[in-house]
Amino acid sequence: MKQTRINCLIDSIAFAGFVFLTTTGVLLRYLLPPGSGRHSTLMGLDRHEWGTVHFWISVVFFSVLALHLVVHWRWIAGVFSGRANESSGLRLGLGVVGIFTLVAIGVAPLIVPVETSERQVRQGGHFENLDIRGAMTLLELEQASGVPADYLLSKLGLPDTVSKEEKLGQLKRKYGFELSSVRDAVKSYRK
C-alpha cells in the first residue's frame, strides 16, 4: 500500500475517532448529566455505559494517533533537527522540553492521589444530608450512615439474597426503587 493511502486511512480513522469522542463527551455532559436524580438512557445505554463507550473510543483514538506519529516519525525528526545552524540545538531542546511537558501534564491526573470526603453534617446527634449515590454499595452506605444493610434491604423490599456489595444504582435499575426511597429508609431508621 502506498504511503499516501496509509496516511489517508490513518488520518480518516483519527478524524472519525475525534468526532465520536467529541460526540460522546457532549452527550455525557449535556444529555445525560451527572446527578440528575433520574435514570435516563439514550439508545438503550445509560450514563455509565456511555462513559464506557467514551473510554474505549479514547483508547482507539489514542492508538491511532500513536500510529500516526510512528508513520510520520521521519518528518517529525526532520522538523526538530532541521538544517544545521546556530539555533538548531535550541530548537531541538525546546522540542524535547515541550514533549516532556505535554506528557507530564497528561500523566499528572493519573499519579495524583484521589481525595475522598464524606459529605455529612452533624445536627442534633444525627447525620443529616448524607450524600447517597448510586455508586455506593449497601455496605458502604451502612458504614457511612450506621444503618444496617439488612434493614435497608427489608425497607426497600429487596430479597435477602441480594449482595451487599452490589451498587445502589444497579439495584435501583434491577428492582425499580428510587434513591429517595433509600434516603427515606435511612431517616426512618434514625427516628
pLDDT at 23: 93
Residue 138: is its pLDDT beyond 70? yes
Question: What integer is the mean pLDDT of 8-32?
Answer: 90
**Residues 135 and 164: beta-carbon distance below 8 Å:** no
| Tens digits of residue pLDDT in 5-19 | 988 899 999 999 999
Which residues are bridge partners to 167 per DSSP? 137
Q: Are 35 and 93 in contact (CB under 8 A)?
A: no
Residue identified by cell 455496605 is: 139
0.75 exceeded by pTM: no
**pLDDT exceeds cutoff 60 at 122:** no
Does position 120 have pLDDT exceeding 50, yes or no? Answer: no
Instruction: Please check whether residue 139 is in contact with residue 149, taking contact to mean a CB–CB distance below 8 angstroms.
Output: yes
Half-sphere exposure of 154 (CA within 13 A, CB side): 6
Average pLDDT over residues 173-189: 86
